[in-house]
């Protein structure tokens, strides 16, 4: 039984399912590859240890507490409903870059634990993109169903997203979900693969409609989990996913981070690497929703 909503609507149980848990085969390359091919995702519990996660959470929410958005103590992640971010930081992109590059957060996103899992999956050393997507999501926020393709794919198409829970994210508080078997929906995947992925435009790759109806029409399900701190989900660029509404009864901000990984030997998409990554549109961290004060409304891809 999962309790979750999409776009304000409670999700009926017959449309919900649990991720297959692959934690027990985390060190086994063949099993990881088979399951990724079969399911389009890999769900792994506790990849990051509790202390690494606690330090990253403390670091990120501490910065947001400094701009009045998160109440004391910051680790609880309670949104104040206020923000002085824009008054305190003329350069919002610069502020967000500094939060996204905090050492405790980078220890989580690019440390040996995730590095090892991706290297096992690829069967060779893995390289994490420098440009990362840190997502503090306040109550009411969600992410529409979408494919990550064609983003991130200018260098190689062999790209995997690693989404990490930085704290507890029960289904009531807006965790990630995957649309079951969507990595086999060729009629949807082919058009997104035709999109000019070198373009700076943001093409329409998200399904803005009702995810519940969409899942039913496709005889599919929304797969998810009650995420614990340090749990991760890996998925390919052609696996449809989104996130549930954050319905926290205590106004808790959901904190996750998603990072792209690729085999280290393959060509990179330069936009997402370096000391000042350009990002998809060329304006770097300023382009991300995270760069906006938490008081501003938005929904994301």
Q: Quote the least distance from Cβ 220 to ligand AKG, whole Å.
A: 18
- Footprint of ligand AKG on 140-169 (CB under 6 A): 143, 148, 161, 163
Residue placing its CB nearer to Fe ion in the complex, 148 or 180: 148
Residue placing its CB nearer to Fe ion in the complex, 95 or 149: 149
Q: Quote the least distance from Cβ 146 to Fe ion, whole Å.
A: 6
Q: Quote the least distance from Cβ 16 to Fe ion, whole Å.
A: 20
Q: Quote the least distance from Cβ 72 to ligand AKG, whole Å.
A: 25
| Complete DSSP assignment for 140-169 | T--EEEE--TTTT-SS-S--EEEEEESS-B
- Footprint of ligand AKG on 256-295 (CB under 6 A): 256, 258
User: From ligand AKG, Fe ion, none, which one binds at residue 239 (CB under 5 to 8 Å depending on kind)?
Assistant: none
148 lines the binding site for Fe ion (CB under 5 A): yes
User: From Fe ion, ligand AKG, none, which one binds at residue 52 (CB under 5 to 8 Å depending on kind)?
Assistant: none
Query: What's the CA gap between 118 and 239, in Å, rounded?
Result: 17
**End-to-end C-alpha distance for the chain, whole angstroms:** 26
Q: Quote the least distance from Cβ 119 to ligand AKG, whole Å.
A: 20
Who contacts 214 (Cβ-Cβ below 8 Å, separation ≥6)? 145, 179, 207
- Beta strands (DSSP E) in the chain are 5-6, 9-10, 16-18, 41-44, 126-128, 133-137, 143-146, 160-165, 176-179, 206-207, 222-224, 232-236, 241-243, 254-263
> Is the separation of the CB atoms in 116 and 26 below 8 Å?
no
Residues in touch with ligand AKG (CB under 6 A): 135, 143, 148, 161, 163, 176, 241, 243, 256, 258
């Amino acid at each position: 039984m999962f309790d979750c909503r999409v776009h304000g609507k409670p999700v009926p149980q017959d449309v919900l399912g649990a991720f297959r848990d692959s934690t027990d085969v985390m060190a086994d390359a063949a099993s990881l590859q088979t399951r990724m091919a079969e399911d389009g995702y890999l769900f792994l519990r506790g990849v990051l240890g509790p202390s690494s996660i606690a330090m990253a959470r403390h670091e990120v929410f501490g910065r947001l507490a400094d701009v009045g958005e998160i109440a004391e103590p910051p680790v609880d992640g309670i949104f104040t409903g206020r923000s002085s971010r824009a008054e305190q930081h003329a350069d919002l992109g610069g502020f967000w870059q500094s939060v996204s590059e905090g050492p405790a957060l980078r220890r989580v996103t690019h440390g040996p634990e995730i590095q090892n899992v991706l290297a096992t999956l690829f069967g060779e050393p893995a390289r994490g993109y420098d440009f990362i997507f840190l997502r503090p999501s306040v109550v009411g926020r969600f992410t529409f169903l979408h494919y990550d393709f064609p983003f991130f794919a200018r260098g190689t198409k062999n790209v995997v997203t690693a989404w990490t829970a930085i704290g507890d994210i029960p289904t009531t508080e807006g965790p990630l979900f995957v649309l079951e078997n969507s990595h086999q929906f060729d009629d949807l995947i082919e058009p997104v693969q035709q999109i000019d992925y070198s373009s700076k435009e943001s093409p329409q790759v998200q399904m803005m409609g009702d995810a519940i109806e969409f899942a039913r029409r496709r005889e599919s399900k929304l797969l998810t989990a009650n995420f614990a701190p340090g749990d991760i989900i890996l998925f390919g660029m052609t696996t449809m996913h989104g996130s549930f509404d954050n319905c926290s009864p205590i106004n808790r901000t959901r904190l996750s981070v998603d990072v792209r990984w690729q085999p280290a030997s393959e060509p990179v998409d330069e936009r997402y690497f370096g000391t000042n990554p350009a990002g998809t549109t060329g304006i770097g961290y300023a382009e991300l929703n995270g760069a906006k004060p938490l008081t501003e409304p938005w929904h994301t891809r």
